[in-house]
Structure 1
Amino acid sequence: MALYTREEALQYRRSPRPGIIEVVPTKPCGNQKELSMAYSPGVAEACNAIVEDPSAAALYTGRANLVAVVSDGSAVLGLGNIGPLAGKPVMEGKGVLFKNFADIDVFDLNLDVRNADQLIDVVKALEPTFGGINLEDIKAPGCFYIEEVLKDEMNIPVFHDDQHGTAVISGAGLLNAAEISGKKMENMKVVIVGAGAAGIACAKFYVSLGIANENIYMFDSKGLIYQGRGGLNPYKVLFAQNKEASLAECMKGADVFLGLSRKDLVTQDMVRSMAHNPIIFAMANPDPEISYADAKGANPECIMGTGRTDFPNQVNNVSGFPYIFRGALDVQATEINEEMKVAAARALADLAKEPVPSEICDAYSVKEMSFGLDYVIPKPLDPRVLEWETPAVAEAAMRSGVAKAPIDDLKGYAVSLRERMEASGKRIKSFVESYR
């Protein structure tokens, strides 16, 4: 049963004020002195301080807590190439998630551009405004090129969430699933259906976690990617197998199936042909490549994850990008690198092994949750994710040498994050209730 009607969804965004985000001041401006400090002539003091020391922008402006969510609307999840204007509601929604989960401010930038190079030029020119760039819903293979160039030429974090968000969260689940099933990463055979942004990024990230590149069998809309097949871009070639084979053939003996394609691609016979205790992350939206019931019916010992909230082991990017950016911003990282992403995945994996508080169980209307087949990834609404994942990302940034403002006390930092979110939550609640 749907949680809402079409009209309810539209009314939610339409009234009492169009859209779901708003820019509000953080300082009072109710008298002559405050007005003069906010703008003229007092603003010159901050300007001059930044001229003297550019790093002072983190003290006197909101830049260090401001992320651009950038999209051309060419690959909006579940909707396709709908363009930047129609994609704007999604980017506004992304801004709400950044704020609600990590107290990060967002401007959504929906760009009407002709090609990847034009998008790159626009985003590069915006570096003085933002502390980080979140690329969103940009079609492959252009998204790979865009991120590579921007990461190389900008001095702030650039992160394409469609690639790395899915990779980090599913990677956390994969680490725990391998432990539960007694599998070693280097020995696992992985079948991936979907060779777009998320599929290729997941494959590369799994290699970082220990999967052997030659053990990855990747399929696109034309079948298995193999050497000598025409029309392959350089990103797909990285995972080309020696010879052609069908999906059913590749599924035999496979330890892992990752689906980022469309529903009903995987049969129960395919699941039965997989290795013992198979790991199945079927994340086609809204219906997975094989249903939860069918997968469990074929092999009750499989570890099954989807992108849905109504089944166990939800792979949800909101468990990644807000916290990764929070950690990166707080140490003023110049990039989000592989070490930081791996740290995020391992922190999530470790958290899943901790006892789950009753309030989290209540939020999901279950009596209990514990580490095992049906709980290998922490729930997206678990507030502890902030205190586990964000410090791990910050520490990895410092350890890998990309942090310009290191944090000495990571335990104290974790406490400050909790306090920050409590204060932010109160502000948001008060502000939202004023519109009811």
Structure 2
Amino acid sequence: MDIRAASLALHYRLQGKLEMVSRCPIQTQEDLSLAYTPGVAAPCLEIQKDPALSFQLTRRRNLVAVITDGSAVLGLGDIGPLAGMPVMEGKCVLFKEFAGVDAVPLCVDTQDVEEMVQTIALISKSFGGINLEDIAAPRCFEVERRLKERCDIPVFHDDQHGTAVVITAALTNALKVVGKKKEQVKVVLNGIGAAGGAAAKLLLDLGYSNLILCDKDGILCAGDPTLLPHHAELAARTNQAGQRGTLADALVGADVFIGVSRPGLVTGEMVESMAKDPILLAMANPVPEIMPDIALAHGAAVVGTGRSDFPNQINNVLVFPGLFKGALSCGAVQITEGMKHAAARALADLVPPEQLSPTCILPSPLNRAAAEAVAHAVAEEARCTGHARF
């Protein structure tokens, strides 16, 4: 069977990838009295007096809600909340397997921003963190922004920020491989949706000053009246030379290409037009912007994709389990830019210098040490900056 048929057979057999397991055995009358009435009144009253105790007297401290409206599911698009449920279950499995974090899939049957924000905000007291997933841009930006204003727990849109962190870590190490510095390289990023926009902001914050952004219409330029608001904001911070043209024009002399867009957009000739030893992180799935063998044959020094069947897989699973584990462990009230920076550094540092190579710029997505390293860095940053409850 191919992978899709095998996966479908697995899902039919399991009938769901999650189950609820009790942490409190009930064997005796005393067990029942302690776990439920009358004993349970004691923790209820303690939480009533001090709501912060909900993180110690319930499972809230280790519980994340994985929430979608089903409008941008993987490469499938707007398939609706019910059809998105297998992906949300899968995300919850990854939380548990890689970081020991409990997660609950919640599929919200609305694409109205107000309804979605109100729904999530009203249930947020049940959780220690909110992971927004597969919500289409630009709606995802508004949903996240408003929830961060209303909720006192971390709200994190993984398609944006998890992707941005893993891209940053990959690029950090790829530059070490080719002997270039971030202040000196020209970076071209194609695809300015949720992932591309967040990656652009993170790279700018970290000192990648020569950044050119492209969408389907070509290079983003400041002052273009046709740009969407979130594109206009990024255009004002990038392309300082005012270059215009297509993606092919942007890539001339570029040191780095980052793609979170569509298959087959980059040709071998475009790679040849780039600077010496170019880096290509082509992450369109399942078919990247350029296949690794073509990129390498035309002079690429380092190539990464989102796929597991090529070297340098750039995958969010290296980020979100550990990031939430770290945030939950210290009771973080939000995910800050500094915490994303710390996560990217920790992930990059997980590949020791002696192992860095053109085919090894990130740890394997199956490397369980990634979650621990990211969690430690995130918790330390939260505590040092006053964003931790405990």
TM, length-normalised to structure 2: 0.95
Q: In 2 relative to 1, CA 114–392 (structure 1 residues): closer, same or farther, beyond 3 Å?
A: closer
CA distance in 1, matches of 2:226, 2:140: 18
Contiguous gaps of at least 5 residues in structure 2: none
Match of 1:87 among 73, 84, 87: 84
CA displacement at 1:231 relative to structure 2: 3.3
Contiguous gaps of at least 5 residues in structure 1: 356-369, 406-436
* Sequence identity (%): 48
Amino acid at match of 2:101: I
CA distance in 1, matches of 2:4, 2:108: 30
Deviates more, 1:220-229 or 1:167-176: 220-229
Does the 8 A contact of 1:188 with 1:256 survive in 2?
yes
CA displacement, residues 182-237 of structure 1 (integer Å, 9 cap, x when unaligned): 2221222111111110000010111122111xx22222222222234343222111
Partner of 2:377: 392
Partner of 2:264: 264
Amino acid at match of 2:169: A
CA distance in 2, matches of 1:376, 1:187: 20
CA displacement at 1:3 relative to structure 2: 5.0
CA distance in 2, matches of 1:251, 1:196: 19
CA distance in 1, matches of 2:371, 2:321: 9
Match of 1:232 among 224, 227, 248: 227
In the alignment, structure 1 residue 217 sits paired with structure 2 residue 201: no
Does the 8 A contact of 1:193 with 1:258 survive in 2?
yes
Partner of 1:120: 117
CA distance in 2, matches of 1:78, 1:220: 18
In the alignment, structure 1 residue 152 sits paired with structure 2 residue 137: no
Match of 1:14 among 12, 16, 27: 12
Q: Structure 2 matches for 1:180-219, cutoff 5 A?
A: 180-212=177-209, 215-219=210-214
CA distance in 1, matches of 2:222, 2:51: 50
CA displacement at 1:176 relative to structure 2: 1.2
Amino acid at match of 2:160: Q
Does the 8 A contact of 2:223 with 2:232 survive in 1?
no
In the alignment, structure 1 residue 57 sits paired with structure 2 residue 42: no
Q: How many residues align?
A: 385
Q: In 2 relative to 1, CA 114–175 (structure 1 residues): closer, same or farther, beyond 3 Å?
A: closer
In the alignment, structure 1 residue 31 sits paired with structure 2 residue 28: yes
Partner of 1:333: 332
Amino acid at match of 2:307: R
Does the 8 A contact of 1:216 with 1:239 survive in 2?
no
Q: Structure 2 matches for 1:231-380, cutoff 5 A?
A: 231-240=226-235, 241=239, 242-300=242-300, 302-353=301-352, 370-380=355-365
Q: In 2 relative to 1, CA 146–41 (structure 1 residues): closer, same or farther, beyond 3 Å?
A: same
Amino acid at match of 2:245: A
CA displacement, residues 151-208 of structure 1 (integer Å, 9 cap, x when unaligned): 1221100100000111111100111112222222122211111111000001011112
TM, length-normalised to structure 1: 0.86
CA displacement at 1:77 relative to structure 2: 1.1
CA distance in 2, matches of 1:243, 1:187: 18
CA displacement at 1:314 relative to structure 2: 0.6
Name the Cα RMSD after superposition. 1.5
Task: Give secondary structure in 2 for the equivalent of 1:126.
Answer: helix
CA displacement, residues 351-407 of structure 1 (integer Å, 9 cap, x when unaligned): 11166xxxxxxxxxxxxxx211111111111122133221111101111210111xx
